[in-house]
A and B are shown apart, each in its own frame.
Chain A
Amino acid sequence: MTDIRHHLTDALLMGYATGTLPEAFSLVVATHVSLCDDCRAQLGAYDAVGGAVMQTETAMMADDSLAATLALIARGDRTPVAKPHLGGIFPTPLQDYVGGDLDAVKWRRMGGGVSQALLKTDGGATVRLLRIPGGTAVPDHGHRGTELTLVLQGAFRDETSRFGIGDVEVANEDLNHQPVAEAGADCICLAATDAPLRFNAMVPRLAQRFLGI
């Protein structure tokens, strides 16, 4: 909990508080916040702004509104109960999307030893789990939009820094990087992008259409 050094940007936390992030980004934010009390507290501050904004407007309620609400209450609690953590390395929001923990992931090989599992989301951005064997490099690439990469196991390094468990790298157009997994355990990451990556070599570029990156 205390080792996290790379956090979400304020813009992402505020976007999550306002509910305007694409679902794929929201999943990365919710997963990181599950691991990071610092970002959870900052998100609480942006929610507080929402509370203040909500108090600036009123609309007239229907005449029988309170009675109708009490009747609704009398029908019992229908709000879904949050699922308990199943154990393992994924926080609950990610377990929800995977349908389990690491052992439930349906990996597909991408070449170069790297595997991925695309998670189903709507809304113009995509999110996947990546498994990069220790010591392996992900092909050198740039970004057209924003790429969020959250480490869940192992660690990777790129031109900018080292990213360990709970760290999130927020990459945009100005970052060209070649992440390399540290020796040791497979590096497992949750990665979301809102635009296709821009690979700098021909082979991954050709493979891209088959991989849906």
Chain B
Amino acid sequence: MLHMLTHVQPQSKSNACLFTLGWRGIAGALPGAGKIASVTTPAPPDRLAWSAEMTAIRDLRDQQAFAALFGHFAPRIKGFLMRSGAAPDLAEECAQEVMATLWHKAHMFDPTKASVATWIFSIARNRLIDKIRKQRRPEPQDLPWGPEGEPDPADALALAQDTEKLAQALASLPEKQRKLIERAYFGDLSHSEIAAETGLPLGTIKSRIRLALDRLRHAMN
């Protein structure tokens, strides 16, 4: 069984070399984890496409759309879970469960509050806490569903673009800073070690979500 982790660089145009990525011995410590190789792959296609596929899953139970999402996200979910300390088999199982949740909960996805990648991350993180760390995770109260119907495509587009810019900004951070952020999200830092000043453009994303929340509250009243 060969479990390879591949490092993906969103901005891969200028950097096509292979390099090895070392981290806290996960590969060495886990039997069957196999050799870890890091390669660059082309940047993923337009993230908005994933939003269309989410709609196809939600409205049409479209298995082809699901297969496309699976092909892109399942290996990334599994990679994230392995980097967060999960054994390969458990990471595989959890990644499948996360993708099954995506199918069942597609109607809960709101592209004005999160990109597809962000939404999947939150499902994967919760699965990690529940099934791998075996901790209880209190979640914020669900927002009331407004009567406004379909989210505004312009808002969804703006949020998707800002999220794309965020991924590019993360990739272009100085390595030391980027590693620190990655370690925080892989659970390598305790909450007291976290430096919340990321140097990433979070303000625009926060403002967009805030606007979507304001609209929702307004529609409710």
Instruction: Report the separation of the CA atoms of residues A184 and B81 in the bound assembly, to the nearest whole angstrom.
Output: 50
B202 touches A30 (CB 8 A): no
| CB pair B170 A44 closer than 8 Å | no
Contact A61 B74 (CB under 8 A): yes
Contact among A37, A61, A82 with B78 in the assembled complex (CB-CB below 8 Å): A61
A62 to B, closest residue via Cβ: B92
A55 touches B76 (CB 8 A): yes
Does A54 contact B8, Cβ atoms closer than 8 Å? no
Taking CB atoms, residues of chain A closer than 8 Å to B138 are: 23, 26-27, 29-31, 93, 96-97
Residue B82 at the chain A interface, CB threshold 8 Å: yes
> What is the bound-complex CA distance between A146 and B191, given in angstroms?
11
* Cβ 8 A contact of B185, one of A9, A18, A122: A18
Contacts of B51 in A (CB 8 A): none
What chain B residues lie within 8 Å of A161 (beta carbons)? none
Q: Which residues of A (51-69) have their CB < 8 Å from a CB of B? A: 51-62, 65-66, 68-69
B-contacting residues, A70-108, CB 8 Å: 70, 72-73, 77, 79, 82, 85, 91-93, 96-97
Instruction: Please tell me if B111 contacts chain A, counting CB pairs below 8 Å.
Output: no
- Among B92, B166, B205, which residue has its beta carbon within 8 angstroms of that of A65? B92
Mark interface residues in B72-84 (1 if CB within 8 Å of A CB, else 0): 0011111110110
Among B101, B103, B142, which residue has its beta carbon within 8 angstroms of that of A92?
B142
* Closest beta carbon of chain B to A15's beta carbon, Å: 4
Whole-angstrom CA separation of A46 from B163 in the bound complex: 11
B184 within 8 A of partner (CB): yes
Closest Cβ of chain A to B35, distance in Å, is 11
Q: Which residues of B contact A54 (CB under 8 A)?
A: 76-77, 79-80, 117, 120-121, 124, 185
Q: Which range contains the number of A residues in contact with the other chain?
A: 35 or more
Nearest-neighbor residue (CB-CB) of B126 within chain A = A19
Contacts A26-B137, A41-B209; is A79 near B182 (CB within 8 Å)? no
Cβ < 8 Å to A, chain B residues 110-127? 113-115, 117-122, 124-126
Q: A56 is contacted by which of B137, B182, B205 (Cβ under 8 Å)? A: B182
Shortest B212–chain A CB gap in Å is 8
Within 8 A of A (CB), among B167-215: 167, 170-171, 181-182, 184-187, 189-192, 194-198, 200, 202-203, 205-207, 209-210, 213-214
Q: Is the CB–CB distance between B114 and A79 below 8 Å? A: no
Q: Confirm or deny: A140 has a beta carbon within 8 angstroms of a beta carbon on chain B.
A: no
C-alpha gap A60/B37 in the complex (Å): 11
**Closest A-B pairs by Cβ, 6 of them:** A10-B196, A57-B79, A15-B191, A51-B118, A51-B117, A34-B141
Interface residues of B (CB under 8 A from A): 2-10, 41, 44, 63, 66-67, 70-71, 74-80, 82-83, 88, 91-92, 95-97, 99-101, 103-105, 113-115, 117-122, 124-126, 128-129, 133, 135-142, 163, 166-167, 170-171, 181-182, 184-187, 189-192, 194-198, 200, 202-203, 205-207, 209-210, 213-214, 217
Task: Give me 17 A-to-B residue pairs in the complex whose CB atoms sit less than 8 angstroms apart, sorted by A's number.
Answer: A11-B191, A17-B125, A18-B185, A19-B137, A20-B184, A31-B138, A44-B118, A44-B206, A45-B202, A45-B203, A50-B125, A55-B10, A58-B6, A59-B4, A66-B71, A72-B97, A79-B105
